[in-house]
């Protein structure tokens, strides 16, 4: 990857591996991950007004209203030249707001990476996920276990299971993805920026594919 600015959207269903790949890239490249889910969970934990408003939607597996999300993201987008958007946009209205904000800032997107995986695998990944709530780093009890159960390999912090990673809420989140977020695949296909990656591969192979995609080396834009 060159020192050129990279402004990337990670698209894909919950559990596809967006956060896992974003953390790996953040370590390897000067590319700041902006995870709307992490920002919202911090606001819920700190009981801010935004957190108070967002909490019921998050707990039920629905989406937080567009106006709240767009208001939260505008200052984030202005902060850096390169970034990786993880979990945003999630609706066509959010994608249009993102386009408008980036046009104003003169910072167009450079890639949209769709990481995809089958439904049965997504459910297994989410229900077995262990998360470090402070860093947002995730592990999996079976597919990517930490060295010590319940402890983050990197900073030694405690891992927990997210309240919305239960089977019931996961089913709702996947239905929400199909209804509200999947239409973005066509939206971004029309821009010519979309690259689709098989998220069923092992984590390091997905990383290599993602790196190729955001470096513009992937001829297989789809
Ligand atoms: P997302 O951010 O897309 O919701 P995560 O990156 O948190 O998804 O990944 C969901 C779960 O799947 C985590 O427990 C993670 O450790 C695991 N995981 C991520 N990528 C892979 C992969 N390629 N193979 C197996 N497990 C994976
Ligand atoms: P995530 O960490 O990406 O799985 O997001 C967790 C939850 O936060 C989602 O189920 C939504 O309720 C909410 N959320 C995160 N990002 C957005 C967004 N861009 N738009 C609306 N709601 C969001």
Ligand 2 contact, 95 CB (< 6 A): no
Q: For residue 82, how far is the Cα from the chain centroid?
A: 16
Give me ligand 1 centre to Cα 139, in Å. Answer: 7
Could you read off the pLDDT tens digit of each residue along the chain, which spans 222 residues? 446 889 999 999 999 999 999 999 988 888 899 999 999 999 999 999 999 999 999 999 999 999 999 999 999 999 999 999 999 999 999 999 999 999 999 999 999 999 999 999 999 999 999 999 999 999 999 999 999 999 999 999 999 999 999 999 999 999 999 999 999 999 999 999 999 999 999 999 999 999 999 987 754 444
SS (HEC) of 100-138: HHHHHHCCCCCEEEEEECCHHHHHHHHHCEEECCCCCCE
Domain boundaries, the chain: 7-212
Fold of 7-212: Rossmann fold (3.40.50)
Burial class (CB in 10 A: 0-12, 13-18, 19+), 28: exposed
Give me ligand 2 centre to Cα 37, in Å. Answer: 5
Peptide bond into 19 cis (omega under 30): no
The residues assigned a catalytic role are 18, 90, 129, 162, 173
Other Cβ atoms within 10 Å of 69 Cβ, number: 24
Pocket of ligand 1 (CB under 6 A): 12, 14-20, 125, 129, 138-140, 143-144, 199, 202-203, 206
């Amino acid at each position: 990857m060159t020192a050129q600015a990279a402004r990337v959207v990670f698209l894909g269903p919950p559990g596809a591996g967006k956060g896992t790949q974003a953390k790996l890239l953040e370590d390897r490249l000067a590319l700041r991950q902006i995870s709307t889910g992490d920002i919202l969970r911090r606001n819920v934990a700190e009981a801010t007004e935004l957190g108070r408003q967002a909490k019921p939607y998050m707990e039920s597996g629905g989406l937080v209203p567009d106006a709240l999300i767009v208001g939260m993201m505008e200052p984030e987008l202005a902060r850096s030249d390169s970034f990786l958007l993880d979990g945003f946009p999630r609706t066509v209205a959010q994608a249009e707001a993102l386009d408008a904000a980036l046009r104003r800032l003169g910072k167009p997107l450079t890639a949209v990476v769709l990481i995809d995986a089958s439904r049965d695998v997504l459910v297994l990944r989410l229900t077995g996920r262990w998360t470090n709530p402070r860093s947002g780093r995730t592990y999996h009890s079976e597919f990517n276990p930490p060295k010590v159960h319940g402890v983050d390999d990197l900073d030694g912090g405690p891992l927990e299971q997210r309240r919305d990673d239960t089977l019931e809420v996961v089913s709702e989140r996947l239905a929400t993805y199909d209804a509200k977020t999947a239409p973005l695949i066509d939206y971004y296909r029309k821009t010519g920026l979309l690259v689709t990656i098989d998220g069923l591969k092992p984590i390091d192979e997905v990383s290599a594919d993602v790196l190729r995609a955001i470096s513009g080396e992937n001829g297989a834009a789809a």
